C-alpha cells in the first residue's frame, strides 16, 4: 500500500504513538508522519504509507494552521498546560484591546526561541531530554514566520486565537512571550491543528475510525486521492511506454509541461509513479520513483 492518510490526533498521544498505531492497523512497517504534533495538542497529523514516505521532503516547510487558547496569569516550564508553574500565579482580568495589540507584534518574520521542552537538538540531543533531566537548556533564536495571528475572544484570564504559521514555529513560545510582555506570565492552555499544507481537519479520521474502516475492508476511503497531493505541482498523465522508462530512472519528454520545474507523473487517474524535474526544455528526469500502484 502506498498512500497518505489524514489523522485527527487525540490528546495525550505523541506523533510516534500515532505512527505505531497506524502500523498495527495496516500491518505495515513503512509508515511516517509529516510534522510533529505535541502530545497535548489535537488535530491534523498527515501520515504517509509505503513508498509515499518519500514525499516527506516536499512537506518540510509546510504551513500549519491552528486554533487554541492562551491562559494568562502564570508561566510553565513547558510553555503549555503540561508543565510546572515557574512564576507565581496572578489574578488576571484581560483587556481585549491590549491583548489584540500585543498579538500584532507576533505577526510577520520573527526571531523565536524554541521551548526548552522541544525536539530541537543541542549537540545532537533533543532539548526535551536534557530538560527532563533538569540540565541546562540553552536554545538559540531561529527565524520563523507567522502569517496570521488573530485573537478571536478574550474572557477572564484566557484568550482564544487562530493562527497560520510557517514551519518550525512554536505557538507555545508565542504564548510564553505574550505573558512576558503583559508582565503576568502565560502558557498555551489548548491547541488544535486545523491544517498542514493542503490537509484539513475536515478530511481527517480518528484512529478509531481508521481501525473501523480496516475491519470493514474499506481503508481506501480514508486515503487522500494522489492527484490532490502537492497541489502547487502540476499533474501529467503519461503513456505506458514513458512509464516504463520512468520506472527505470530514465528521462522522458513531456511536451505539455514546458514551464513546470517539477511535475507529478501518473498512469491513469490514480497511479502516481514519479515526481520528475525538468532538466532541459520538455525533458524531465524522475526525482522520485514510486514502485507499485497507489492504494
DSSP letter string, 23-73: HHHHT-S-EEESS---TT-EEEEEEEEGGGGGGGGGGTT--EEEEEEEEES
Question: Is residue 38 flagged as an active site residue?
Answer: yes
Residue 2 and residue 266: Cα distance in Å, rounded? 14
| Residue among 38, 153, 203, 208 flagged as catalytic | 38
**Residue whose grid cell is 522522458:** 252
**Residue whose grid cell is 510546572:** 84
Name 13's Cβ contacts closer than 8 Å, sequence gap at least 6.
21, 39
Show which residues are catalytic: 38
Amino acid at each position: 500500500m502506498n498512500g497518505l492518510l489524514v489523522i485527527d490526533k487525540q490528546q495525550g498521544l505523541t506523533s510516534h504513538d500515532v505512527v505505531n498505531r497506524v502500523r498495527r492497523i495496516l500491518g505495515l512497517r513503512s509508515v511516517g508522519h509529516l510534522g510533529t504534533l505535541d502530545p497535548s495538542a489535537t488535530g491534523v497529523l498527515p501520515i504517509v504509507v509505503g513508498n509515499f514516505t518519500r514525499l516527506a521532503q516536499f512537506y518540510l516547510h509546510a504551513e500549519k494552521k491552528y486554533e487554541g487558547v492562551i491562559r494568562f496569569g502564570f508561566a510553565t516550564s513547558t510553555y503549555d498546560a503540561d508543565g510546572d508553574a515557574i512564576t507565581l500565579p496572578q489574578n488576571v482580568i484581560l483587556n481585549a484591546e491590549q491583548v489584540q495589540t500585543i498579538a500584532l507584534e507576533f505577526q510577520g518574520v520573527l526571531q523565536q526561541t524554541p521551548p526548552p521542552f522541544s525536539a530541537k537538538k543541542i549537540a545532537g540531543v533533543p532539548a526535551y531530554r536534557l530538560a527532563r533531566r533538569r540540565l541546562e537548556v540553552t536554545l538559540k533564536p531561529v527565524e520563523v514566520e507567522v502569517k496570521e495571528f488573530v485573537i478571536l475572544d478574550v474572557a477572564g484570564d484566557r484568550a482564544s486565537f487562530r493562527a497560520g504559521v510557517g514551519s518550525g514555529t512554536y505557538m507555545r513560545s508565542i504564548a510564553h512571550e505574550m505573558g512576558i510582555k503583559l508582565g503576568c506570565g502565560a502558557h498555551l492552555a489548548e491547541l488544535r491543528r486545523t491544517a498542514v499544507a493542503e490537509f484539513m481537519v475536515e478530511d481527517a479520521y480518528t484512529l478509531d475510525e481508521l481501525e473501523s474502516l480496516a475491519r470493514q475492508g474499506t481503508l481506501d476511503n480514508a486515503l487522500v486521492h494522489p492527484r490532490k497531493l502537492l497541489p502547487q505541482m502540476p499533474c501529467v498523465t503519461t503513456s505506458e511506454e514513458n512509464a516504463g522508462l520512468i520506472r527505470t530512472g530514465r528521462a522522458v519528454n513531456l511536451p505539455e509541461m514546458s514551464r513546470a520545474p517539477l511535475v507529478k507523473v501518473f498512469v491513469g487517474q490514480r497511479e502516481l509513479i514519479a515526481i520528475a524535474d525538468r532538466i532541459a526544455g520538455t525533458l524531465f528526469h524522475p526525482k522520485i520513483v514510486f514502485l507499485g500502484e497507489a492504494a
